[in-house]
């Protein structure tokens, strides 16, 4: 009975996708954990091992000791591993190939949507992208792999080779505002879509979590796919509790059947 109910929901979501003219997919950490990327906030995540206060932008800028600790956590914490897209990322990329995707709005910083095949212009990154490191002095940018190698060779607090300024991962730290352009684009697409599918997010981190609220408020349908409960479950048209890769793979299969 339970499996029949899930099949019914998957069929309903696939019909929504087929009927949609402006589908927005919103993704959180639960999409990337299946690729081995650590979840920051869940039990066993990085914030259960380290103090989030050590990742404030103020401490990064003004405390060399804290900056050293931050780089050590980032290098040793598995965030820079060469992760590969999983079925959720691949399914979302396939929706773009089927011309059924307006854009992806993501809280993740791992570049896996692009690796899976989504176009750069289709991916809106609310919290930045960990593949780049930027100098706060001269704005020189470095591939993160280069900086990680320097750290492993003994340069515990890497600095800019050009001006010796402070290097910072191109991601949003606590106390730092979201990139204005990305936030504006995400808000626009959320308020102008007819279907938003939120995947792998508890929808508890704002302002990113406003996107499903904006979509629903503008009259769009809302689908939530997540292992646990979310703050928007009560307003969603369909809620599916399950793993992102498995559920999205099944939804994509149904979409292909019905196109």
Q: pLDDT by residue (tens digit) across 203-258? A: 988 899 999 999 999 999 999 999 999 999 999 999 999 999 999 999 999 999 98
Catalytic residue positions, numbered: 127
CA distances to 30, 38, 89, 236 from 35, rounded to whole Å, are 10, 9, 10, 27
Residue 187, Cβ density class (10 Å: 0-12 exposed, 13-18 middle, ≥19 buried): middle
Q: Are 221 and 237 in contact (CB under 8 A)?
A: yes
- Looking at residue 191, what is its pLDDT? 98
pLDDT in tens, 174-205: 888 899 999 999 999 999 999 999 999 999 88
pLDDT value at 89 more than 70: yes
**Tokens describing residue 199:** 């995947």
Helix, strand, coil shares of the chain, percent, nearest 5, are 45, 15, 35
The pair phi, psi for residue 35, each rounded to 5°, is -100, 5
In this prediction, residue 120 carries a pLDDT of: 95
C-alpha distances out from residue 99 to 22, 94, 118, 127, Å: 10, 9, 11, 26
Q: What is the mean pLDDT of residues 127-142?
A: 90
* Location of each CATH 3.30.1600.10 domain in the chain: 38-80+130-171
pLDDT in tens, 15-53: 999 999 999 999 999 999 898 876 655 455 555 455 667
Asked if pLDDT for residue 122 goes beyond 90, the answer is yes
200 versus 146: which is more confidently predicted? 200
- How sure is the predictor about 156, in pLDDT bands with cuts at 50, 70 and 90? low
Quick: pLDDT tens for 65-78: 888 877 777 666 55
Please state which of the ranges 43-47, 138-142, 162-166 shows the lowest mean pLDDT. Answer: 43-47
Q: Contact 68/1 with Cβ under 8 angstroms? A: no
pLDDT category at 1 given cuts 50, 70, 90 is very low
pLDDT of residue 121: 97
Please tell me the CATH code under which domain 1-37+85-127+177-259 is placed.
3.40.50.1220
The whole-number pLDDT of residue 119 equals 97
Run of H or E residues at 18: helix 2-19
Q: Strand pairing partners for 209?
A: none
Q: What is the pLDDT of residue 145?
A: 80
Alpha carbons 138 and 133: distance in angstroms, whole number: 12
Topology of the domain comprising 38-80+130-171: SIR2/SIRT2 'Small Domain' (3.30.1600)
User: Of 196, 157, 230, which is closest to residue 16 (Cα–Cα)?
Assistant: 196
pTM of the model: 0.89
CA distance 23 to 101: 5
Percent residues over pLDDT 70 in the chain: 87
Where in the chain is CATH 3.40.50.1220?
Answer: 1-37+85-127+177-259
Residue 116 has pLDDT above 90, yes or no: yes
């Amino acid at each position: 009975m339970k499996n029949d109910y899930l099949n019914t929901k998957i069929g309903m979501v696939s019909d929504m996708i087929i009927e949609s003219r402006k589908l927005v997919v919103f993704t959180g950490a639960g999409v990337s954990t299946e690729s081995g990327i650590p979840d920051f906030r869940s039990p066993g995540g990085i914030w259960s091992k380290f103090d989030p206060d050590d990742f404030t932008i103020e401490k990064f800028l003004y405390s060399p000791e804290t900056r050293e600790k931050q780089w050590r956590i980032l290098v040793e914490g598995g965030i820079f591993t060469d992760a590969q897209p999983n079925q959720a990322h691949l399914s979302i990329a396939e929706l773009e190939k089927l011309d059924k995707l307006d854009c992806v709005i993501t809280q993740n910083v791992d570049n896996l949507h692009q690796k899976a095949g989504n176009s750069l212009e289709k991916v809106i990154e609310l919290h930045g992208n960990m593949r780049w490191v930027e100098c706060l002095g001269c704005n020189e940018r470095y591939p993160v792999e280069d900086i990680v190698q320097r750290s492993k060779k003994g340069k515990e607090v890497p600095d800019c080779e050009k001006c010796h300024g402070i290097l910072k991962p191109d991601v949003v730290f606590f106390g730092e505002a979201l990139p204005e352009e990305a936030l504006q684009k995400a808000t626009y697409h959320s308020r102008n879509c007819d279907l938003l599918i939120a995947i792998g997010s508890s929808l508890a981190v704002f302002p990113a979590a406003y996107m499903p609220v904006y979509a629903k408020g503008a009259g769009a349908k809302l689908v939530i796919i997540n292992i646990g409960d979310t703050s928007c479950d009560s307003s969603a048209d369909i809620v599916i509790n399950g793993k992102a890769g498995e559920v999205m793979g099944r939804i994509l299969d149904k979409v292909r059947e019905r196109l």
